[in-house]
Structure 1
Amino acid sequence: MPITLPRDDGRCGWYKLLTQTRPSRQVHGRQRADVVIVGGGFVGLAAARAYAQLRPDHRVILLEALKVGQGASGRNSGFLIDLPHKRDLELGSLERKKKIYRLNLEAIADLRHHVQHHQIQCDWEETGKYQVAVGERGIGFLKNYATLLDDFGYPYTIIDSQPLADVLGSNYYSQAIHTDKCVLVQPAALVNGLADTLPANVELYEEHPVLELARHNSQFDISTQDAVFTAPKVILATNIFTKEFGYLQARMLPTMTYASMTRPLSTDEMRVFRQVSSWGATPADHGGTTLRLSRDRRLVIRNSYQFVPNYHDDLGTRRAIRDSHLQGLRARYPQFENLTLDYTWGGACALSRNYQAFFGELDKHLFFSGIHQSVGATRGTITGKLLAHMALGEHSESLSDMLEISQKPAINPPEPFLSVGVKARMALARRESASEL
């Protein structure tokens, strides 16, 4: 049966703003490798780099179905978050949260090193982020967030409405908590910079979707349209598309989240931001709106989730979400006349019913990390590196911590109950979070 492949809608603002991209390399016939890594996002890039550095004499193949940055890793909002995020901060023991925090800091440190060492131009900004609240309901969420940070012993600053308006340029928000270790980036530029600076023994083949993954005794055959790679080890960095190879089919909730990017703001419009010229804000309410002012003067808004069993959306949905994004921006910035959107795009991610990601072996010598609950930039980076360590039998405290905090995603109910239940839950969340959209 043909498998569903990733596809690019050509509407991701981060990717469209890149000034340079690589020509795709070609490969044909039967090839042998020491490891094949499928997927060129945060997980795959980190795995390829770590594996190649540990074994510089090995042939490392990295296959990407699209161009690097066209998939989910180039479509997120560009937050490298240090803290356990969302459910990870709310659930589990304090010790588990501290392990997640240490692993996230390691990921950020790794990315910082690569950006500085290779001079990757990705608008890297160590400015922290704002957790923002709308009205009394939002402030209630913010109070709970502050309690969790207190339990964690994490420093933060509470910012009331007027000082917050001086930063965000809007009176829409009632209060915020600022934490200072989150990093903001242009995500498509970051992953492309990482791809451009891989070790010499990594061969990156873009626009080479994998059509079949088969095991023959102790070897895997990984087939693309023009080549078959044989290798003793495979690392899947394929997130929701892992289902297409027959793994974790009943444990993923394929979900699309949407973002839009405005035209560049004028010099006069930028004057409403009295304190800083770029920032990032995430919602206190999980169902709320993520907002950024990028370094190139564009507002980026992200909200709206859709259950997408086939991993793709439709044009009608995109138009409706584009309209709702523009309405949300006008509610926040009524002073901006003729505000327009240059790009609206969706990014496919994988959730699970029990909010758990997967890390480890799917089968002997077949490794996978994914289902990151839509917060995969830091987790993808650290798990990719640690998958390479696991594949090579390299032991470390970080690998032990990752194995300890990793649990298996819950099994989904069968269709049609799954689709009915997920869509009803998302509709309820939209109603409850209406003031945040």
Structure 2
Amino acid sequence: MIHLPNDDNCCGWYASLTPATAQKKLTQDEKADFVVVGAGFAGLAIARRLAQHAPTARILLIDAQQVGQGASGRNSGFVIDLPHKFALEHPNPEHKQKILRLNRYAISQLAALIEEHNIDCQWSATGKYQGAVSERGLEKLDHFARLMRELGEPWHNVESKALSEILGTSYYQRAIYTPGSYLMQPAALVRGLADSLPDNVERFENSPIRSLTREGKRWRLRGDHGTVSTPTLLLGTSIFTREFGWLKNRLLPVMTFASWTRPLNEAERDSYGGQLNWGLTPADHAGTTLRMTMDGRIMVRNTYKYVPRYGHSVSDHLRQKIQQEHRQAFLARYPALEAVHLSHTWGGTYAISRNFTNFFGKLDDGVYACACDNGVGAAWGTVSGSLLADLAAGIDSSLLADIQTVTGMPAINPPEPLLGLGVRSKIRFAKWQSRSEL
């Protein structure tokens, strides 16, 4: 039995969109040349690329929810080009250059599709800030600067006065600006990518797959009201890959939470005093991510939870508590906006591994997957999905060689309850260490 996503209905990105056009559900027995499960960044990229390679093939794209409701529509709206967090610490410079090439290829793909299909998703080449509040954060920034010098990438310091004019708050002492990242509205982008898929991709939404079995040389997926038979199955299912029986003890489900405001009115924007459309990530990984959107919403993200039962691990009471924590972080930065409340608080589940390794490749005869984005799903999902379709189609390239070099097998996890105790303790300790950056 496959345990399904159980995402909240509180995602601000999704709620701000016009209602989606209803898509067909899996209601009968189907056969297809290719089946792609998961319609996030990875699954959409897989389906699009397969359709380009095999324009006469029948390709089915199946998701348990509506497109945009899953993790890909719930992130903070960054498409990051640089090796992120622990990938940036890798001792091999060429390893990091390969990741950089892959991420930039993904950005170029997304930019071209947004322009070609006129996808309205607040896409902008604005770069990003990495901000520090305390001495701990400043030390992390200095370390980041050394890594950037080693990588040979452009960056510059933004001191407190200039930074406050951008962010509308003097809460941060300093930031490092890097120009290569993009900002976007994730739910709008994912929906736009789905609506512009090639004609030979058939999309089934709200069609959860309950079981998977092998029948000779074909795989049969069983839903609530129909089945699908295919010789080739491609999984863009991230953490849920383990529900299909693969990578079962190698992925860790972590949920990160965000809250945002309604759009600020004219008087509130005057009080705020900063710019629109920027994004800031914390110098200390467990600190606070901050966004100001194009339409004047302020978003705060700084809470992580281990969620072995996915959304079932989160209660309404816990979500309310998280919103209170986010409001404290918001008011610490914008005390003059006390009258502005947080309108939505939501979580999104993603996969990490203990050795911070992404999986990419063949899992079984006729089964391929890209899983475990370690928190950078927009760029990594796009490029790994595209190249996974290349791998399944037998098409070689230097980029395929790159991704095969920088990926591997996620480490095996210890059994429960040791795993849960260890992960929760590590998250609590990281939050305590980073308390001055929250």
Q: SS state of the match for residue 271, structure 1?
A: helix
- CA contact 1:166–1:272 (8 Å) conserved in 2: no
Question: Take 1:366 and 1:407, find their aligned partners in 2: how far apart are those partners?
Answer: 16
The answer to whether residue 197 in structure 2 is matched with residue 198 in structure 1 is yes
Partner Cα distance (1:27, 1:364) in 2? 24
3-state SS of the aligned residue for 2:430? helix
CA contact (8 A) 1:210 1:222 kept: yes
CA contact (8 A) 1:166 1:274 kept: yes
SS of residue in 2 equivalent to 1:277? coil
Q: Does the aligned pair in 1 maintain the 2:129–2:178 contact within 8 Å?
A: yes
2:2, 2:209 within 8 Å by CA — same for their partners in 1? no
Q: What is the SS of the residue equivalent to 1:211?
A: strand
Q: How does 1:148-163 map to 2 (within 5 A)?
A: 148-163=147-162
Please state how far the C-alpha of 1:74 moved relative to its aligned partner.
0.2
Work out the number of aligned pairs and report it. 436
Partners of 2:5 and 2:418 in 1: CA distance: 26
Match of 2:332 in 1: 331
Q: Which runs of 5+ in 1 are unaligned?
A: none
Does the CA contact (< 8 Å) of 1:7 and 1:66 recur in 2? no
Is the Cα contact below 8 Å between 1:167 and 1:273 reproduced in 2?
no
CA drift at 1:142 = 0.2
2:242 equivalent to 1:243: yes
How far apart are 1:7 and its partner, in Å?
2.4
Q: Where does residue 5 of structure 1 map in the other structure?
A: 4
User: Hey, what's the Cα distance between the residues in 1 that align with 2:152 and 2:85?
Assistant: 17
More moved, 199-208 vs 236-245? 236-245
Give the % identical residues.
46
Q: Distance in 1 between matches of 2:310 and 2:91?
A: 30
**Change over 3 Å in CA distance of 1:272–1:397 after alignment to 2:** farther
- Residue 342 of structure 2 is aligned to residue 351 of structure 1: no
1:137-168 Cα distance to aligned partner (Å, 9 max, x none) = 10000000000000000011100111000000
* SS of aligned partner of 2:370: strand
Report 1:69-80 matches (<5 A).
Answer: 69-80=68-79
1:98-177 equivalences under 5 Å are 98-177=97-176
Using the TM superposition, give the Cα deviation of residue 245 of structure 1 relative to its aligned residue in structure 2, in angstroms. 1.3
Deviates more, 1:66-75 or 1:222-231: 222-231
Q: Decide whether the 8 Å contact of 2:25 with 2:206 is kept in 1.
A: no
Question: Within the alignment, does 1:318 sit opposite 2:319 as a pair?
Answer: yes
Quote the Cα distance in structure 2 between the aligned partners of 1:271 and 1:179.
Answer: 27
Show CA shifts across 1:356-395 (max 9, x none).
1111111122111111111111000000001100111011
- Once the 2 structures are TM-superposed, how far is the Cα of residue 275 of structure 1 from its aligned partner? 5.9
The answer (yes or no) to whether the contact 2:168–2:274 under 8 Å persists in 1 is no
Partner of 2:302: 303
Q: C-alpha displacement at 1:272, in angstroms?
A: 5.1
Letter in 2 for 1:185: M
Once the 2 structures are TM-superposed, how far is the Cα of residue 271 of structure 1 from its aligned partner? 2.8
1:260–1:341 CA contact under 8 A, matched in 2:
yes
Kept after mapping to 2: 8 A contact 1:166/1:273:
no
1:29 aligned to 2:40? no
- Determine the structure 2 residue equivalent to 1:218: 217
Q: Which amino acid aligns with 1:250?
A: N
**1:327-364 deviation line (CA, Å, top 9, x unaligned):** 10000001113120110001001111111111111112
Q: How many Å separate the matches in 2 of 1:100 and 1:241?
A: 24
The residue aligned with 2:399 is 398
Aligned-partner Cα distance in 2 for 1:153–1:34: 44
CA-to-aligned-CA distance 1:43-89 (integer Å, 9 cap, x gap): 00000000001110000000010000100000000100000010000
SS in 1 for 2:29: strand
Equivalent position SS for 1:123: coil
The 1-side partners of 2:28 and 2:188 are apart by 32
CA contact (8 A) 2:26 2:227 kept: no
Taking the aligned partners of 2:271 and 2:393, their CA distance within structure 1 comes to 53
Distance 1:272 1:151 in 2: 40
Distance 1:395 1:213 in 2: 29
What is the one-letter code of the residue matched to 1:64? D
Deviations 1:183-210 (A, max 9, x none): 0000000000000000000001000111
Structure 2 residue runs of 5 or longer lacking an equivalent are none
What is the RMSD computed on CA atoms of the aligned residues?
A: 1.1
Task: Report deviation, 1:273.
Answer: 5.6
Asked if the contact 2:29–2:228 (Cα under 8 Å) also holds between the matched residues in 1, the reply is yes
Distance 2:232 2:28 in 1: 19
Tell me the TM-score normalized by structure 2: 0.98
Q: Distance in 2 between matches of 1:332 and 1:410?
A: 39
TM-score (normalised: structure 1): 0.98
Q: Which runs of 4+ in 1 moved over 4 A?
A: 272-275
